Chains A and B, each alone.
Chain A
Amino acid sequence: MREYGESEAVDFAIIGTGAGGGTLACKLAEHGFSVVAFDAGPYFRPLEDFASDESEQTKLYWTDDRIVDGANPLQMGSNNSGKAVGGSTVHFAMVSLRFRPEWFKSRSLLGYGADWPLNWREMWDYYREVEQALKIAGPVSYPWGPHRPRYPYRAHPLNAAARALAKGCEAMGIQWTETPLATLSAPRGLAHPCVYRGFCVTGCSTNAKQSALVTWIPRAIAAGTEIRDLAMVGRIELDNAGLVTGVHYHRDGAWHFQRARNVVVAGYAIETPRLLLNSANRKFPDGLANSSGLVGKNLMAQSNQAVWGVMDHEVRSYKGPPSLAITEHWNYEDKGKDFFGGYSYMSQGPLPQLWADTQMSAHGLWGSRLMAEMKNYNHVVGLKIVGEMLPQEANRVTLTDELDQYGLRIPRITYSWCDNDKRLIDHSLRFMTQALRAADARDLWTQDDDTCHLNGTARMGSDAANSVVDADCRSWDIPNLWICDGSIFPTVGGVNPSLTIQAIACRTADRIKALALRGELEAHAFG
């Protein structure tokens, strides 16, 4: 791996190496820029470092101290976080979906949320680039939306939990398909296909999972990127002209400074605004890139409610990726809705710890009732949504006065559902209850409070007054400061965001190259 000196100003210092930063590091390096990509977590080698164990693998999560409040406080620290090179893609469920085209103009076309400054047709090409780069295993044809090219690898076989979803959809008269997944259905390089071990969301120990860690990062290194792991960036430095000059980062017990001509913040929807706010200085007392006042605001989780039941059949949903089948019916069908937005729902395969905690916290069981219910583990079947939540300025990330282990102010995360969020959730739970019953499950119950994914907090837009970055992920206020992760989403849609984050990172890299060639990049040494 190439390494850069701290006094050597690199073209790009990228903070975060997940779906946004990892992808961008690769693409920028391949375009010829010098790049150092920082991650607060370690650079794991899955074949040697990952155990088949839920407890042990919590080492992949971002579990630093955070305060949550609001009417519906978010649960942090597991599915929506990552502290490792590759970010949360190291433990994501690999569900790789495209946005519905209208969502990029949801305000103009659908009457809610905010428009993106991006064109869906252009995004369609970038989605294709990511699907190819990750060798997505998907169905022969996709039931919803405009034509898309073939998925590079064939779909995975269905497990029993996925078959239950299919049966429910068929009974309800809606379409379903095999979920497009970022895990190999055929060999690739040294990696063999997925062996259906079912530990996907605790980290893949065989490298079948096409996370940023095994896709973009090796390419980035091959193209000259330095990955600096275990390096927590605490502050972005500016010069008197108001331009970014580099980043202060904590590594090996001390603070260091890396000079850079451009800085890209890619820490996801909590750490990104936290860093921008923690970098406040005399010129920008409210935090960097915050002239709109929108840094930290419009945080959007996605609703992740479920309906669970048991079947007489053995299901053993722990085998295979957890979400092998999906329906996006309610993402594309607008009739029959009393809410804005959409949701998809997928089959589920919780491992024992997660399942027991769900039974306790969401079903209220403990004692002999919990123990009895847990014995039905191999018969459990469930459907879970990824639902769109609307942007609200009151849902936000702010700083508290308490400090973390680096001496940095910790974030407060405030979250409350709006009426539209509640109507969407109610609709989904009603529908999935019918679908699961039609699949011959019984003893149904609903898990009413769970969320997944985090977006917003530094939205992109076409107007500096109403957004933090432009369509190129460049901040309106500081021309050599960029943001490239889920933070820039103006709306979230009803699909998992990772494919869109990666597609935007690919686009951003191409735009940066184009801007550089036109001489519109601040103080950089390209060309």
Chain B
Amino acid sequence: MHDFRKIPAGQDRYPGYDVLAKRLGPSWNEQTRRVITRRLSIGAEPQFFTAEEFQTVTAIAARIVPQSAARPPVPVAALVDEKLFRGALDGFRLAGTPRDGDAWRLGLKALDAEARTAYGGLFHSLAEGLQDALLTRMQAGELKAPQWGSMPPKDFFEKRMARDIVLAYYAHPTAWSEIGWGGPASPRGYVRLDFDERDPWEAAEAGSGDEASVRRINRHVR
């Protein structure tokens, strides 16, 4: 058992753990390697969003999933862009809400309109605190600009915008390493299933001993 509450919020919970170090080991099969390689090679330039839209998405993503400088960056906006460019749908939308890509375009336009009305600038140009204030009001359903049309801002936040951003971030190995998840697991699965049991190919958590030894363990996870 680790008293993880004693670990400061900013500190790495799984120091030295990199799920990608397992890439060539028995936990990753060929098809998984292919899928992750493709994801890691997604370009930084948008294919679905316009340059202006992409700037806004990047700014939103930085507030929804703020990243630690200690790990390799996750190109969240580019991952969202790639999904929309592919035309992948979630498979449902609320009555009055356009299809996934059109909902994004509408929402970005409405968010910028809100930003101009409230603070006199486009969303991406605002200070982080003001950006957060707008996002908080969107989540609470308090935004009312006519640009939203028949799409409820609260639903856009929860079912489209923040959803796509969160799913993009947690599709990336950096995020998996950060939370100490075992990552891909096929053909090798797991053997030790009980409380406080860790297979040698899983991340060790800080707090169980001195950080140097945890880091050493994690460096050898394959």
Contact = CB atoms under 8 A, between A and B. Distances in A.
Interface of A: 48-56, 58, 61-69, 73-78, 81, 157-160, 163, 194-199, 205-206, 311-316, 318-320, 351-353, 355-357, 360-361, 364, 366-368, 370-372, 374-379, 412-413
A524 to B, nearest CB: 37
Given A64-B91, A313-B1, A360-B64, 17 more contacts: A49-B31, A55-B35, A58-B88, A68-B92, A75-B159, A77-B92, A160-B195, A195-B187, A205-B187, A314-B1, A314-B198, A319-B192, A352-B170, A360-B162, A366-B135, A367-B65, A368-B66
B216 interface: no
A353 B99 contact: no
Contact of A48 (B31, B185, B189): B31
B44 interface: no
24 contacts: A51-B35, A53-B171, A58-B88, A63-B88, A63-B90, A64-B91, A67-B93, A68-B92, A73-B94, A163-B194, A194-B189, A195-B186, A195-B188, A195-B190, A196-B191, A197-B185, A199-B186, A314-B197, A316-B198, A316-B202, A318-B182, A319-B192, A360-B162, A375-B13
A366 B63 contact: yes
Contacts of A312: 1-4
A351 B183 CA distance: 9
Contacts of A52: 27-29, 32, 183-186
Contacts of B162: 360-361, 366
Contacts of B175: 352, 374
Contact of A75 (B92, B170, B171, B180): B92
A53 B4 contact: no
- Helix, strand, loop or mixed for chain A's interface? loop
B64 A370 contact: yes
Contacts of A367: 63-66, 132
Given A163-B195, A313-B195, A76 B91 contact: yes
Interface in B61-117: 63-66, 68, 88-95, 99
Nearest to A442: B5
A157 B135 CA distance: 44
A357 B6 CA distance: 26
Contacts of A66: 91-93
Given A51-B34, A51-B184, A360 B166 contact: yes
A399 to B, nearest CB: 14
Contacts of A77: 89-92
A198 B88 contact: no
B127 interface: no
A378 B205 contact: yes
B186 A205 contact: yes
Most B CB within 10 A of own CB, among A76, A205, A316, A319? A316
Interface in B44-64: 63-64
A355 B166 CA distance: 10
A203 B9 CA distance: 35
Given A195-B187, A360-B166, A367-B63, A53 B194 contact: no
B4 to A, nearest CB: 7
A315 B195 contact: yes
Contacts of B32: 51-53
A372 B32 CA distance: 28
Nearest to B13: A375
B95 A356 contact: no
Contacts, number: 207
Contacts of A370: 64-65, 166
B91 A81 contact: yes
Given A53-B36, A65-B89, A157-B193, A356 B64 contact: no
B212 interface: no
Nearest to A352: B170
B142 interface: no
B66 A198 contact: no
A24 B85 CA distance: 39
Contacts of B28: 52
Contacts of A76: 90-92
B181 A65 contact: no
Nearest to B36: A53
Contacts of A376: 4
A55 B167 contact: yes
Which of A158, A205, A206 has the most B CB atoms < 10 Å from its CB?
A205
B147 interface: no
A459 B194 CA distance: 43
Nearest to B64: A366
Interface-central residue, B2, B91, B178, B195, by most chain A CB under 10 Å: B91
A314 B181 CA distance: 12
Contact of A361 (B29, B68, B163, B205): B163
A64 B4 CA distance: 43
A65 B66 contact: no
Nearest to B176: A352
Interface string B22-44: 00000111011011100100000
Contacts of B29: 51-52, 205
Interface in B155-175: 158-159, 162-163, 166-167, 169-171, 175
Given A63-B88, A64-B89, A357-B163, A53 B35 contact: yes
A314 B197 CA distance: 7
A372 B9 contact: yes
B95 A353 contact: no
A360 B31 CA distance: 30
A361 B159 contact: yes
A48 B34 CA distance: 12
Contacts of B2: 312, 314
Given A314-B205, A374-B179, A61 B170 contact: no
B210 interface: no
A12 B151 CA distance: 44
B180 A377 contact: yes
Contacts of A160: 193-197
Contact of A53 (B66, B68, B184, B197): B184
Nearest to A57: B35
A160 to B, nearest CB: 4
A154 to B, nearest CB: 15
Nearest to A204: B186
B189 to A, nearest CB: 3
B135 A195 contact: no
B186 A206 contact: yes
Nearest to B7: A375
B193 A320 contact: yes
B182 A319 contact: yes
A175 B28 CA distance: 39
Contact of B170 (A49, A199, A313, A356): A356
Nearest to A66: B92
Nearest to B11: A375
Given A64-B89, A371-B65, A159 B185 contact: no
